[in-house]
Amino acid sequence: MEGRRMRRLGRGQNSQTVLPLSVGRISNIISCWYCDFKFCVLNEPLFVFGRRYSRYLRSWFAMGVGFSVTALLAVTLILLWEISRILHPYNEEGQFSSLLSGSFFGISSNLSGLTISLTGIGYLCISTIISVSVHELGHALAAASEGIQMEYIAVFLAVIFPGALVAFNHETLQALPKSYALRIYCAGIWHNAGLCAFCAISLFILPVILFPVYIHGEGLMVLHVASKSPLSRYLSPYDVIYSIDGIRINDVQEWLQIGSSITEQEYQRSYSAYKSSSGKGYCVPYSLLEKRIHVQLRGNETICPNDLIDFVATPCQELRLSEDWQVENIYCLFAKDILDFKKCGGGWAKASKNRSNCLCTQEEYCLAPFLMPGVAWVEITYIRPFTPGCQKFLRTHFLEDTNSDIGDIRCSESFVYIGDMAPMLDSVHITSYQPRWPTKFGAHFPSVLEKLLMSMFHVSLTLALLNSLPVRIQITSVIGVDILVYSQEIK
Catalytic residues: 136
DSSP secondary structure string, 80-127?
Answer: HHHHHHHHSTT-S-HHHHHIIIIIIT---S--TT----HHHHHHHHHH
Q: How far apart are CA 436 and CA 439, in angstroms?
A: 8
Minimal CA–CA distance to 366: which of 273, 444, 277, 464? 277
- Is 111 exposed, middle or buried (CB count within 10 Å of its CB: 0-12, 13-18, 19+)? exposed
Beta-strand relationship, 376-383 and 240-244:
antiparallel
Maximum pairwise Cα distance, the chain: 103
Contacts 24+ apart (CB under 8 A), 441-445: 442/213, 443/221, 443/223, 443/238, 444/223
Reference 246, options 360, 390, 352; nearest CA is 352
Contact criterion met (CB below 8 Å) for 313 and 331: yes
Kindly list the distances between the CA atom of residue 130 and the CA atoms of 38, 136, 180, 453, in Å, as whole numbers in the listed order.
Answer: 18, 10, 26, 11
State whether the Cα torsion 158-161-162-163 is positive or negative.
negative
| Element of type H or E holding 153 | strand 152-158
Structural contact between residues 389 and 411, judged by C-beta atoms closer than 8 angstroms? yes
Q: Can you name the residues that pair with 371 across neighbouring β-strands?
A: 276
C-beta neighbour count of 363 within 10 angstroms: 9
CA 418 from centroid of its chain's CA atoms = 26
Report how far apart the first and last C-alpha atoms of the chain are (Å, whole number): 18
Query: What residues does 155 pair with on adjacent strands?
Result: 37, 164
Residue type, 240: V
Alpha helices, DSSP H, located in 247-400: 252-269, 286-289, 390-400
Could you give the CA distance from residue 431 to residue 210 in angstroms, rounded to a whole number? 13
Contact call for residues 305 and 293 (beta carbons, < 8 A):
yes
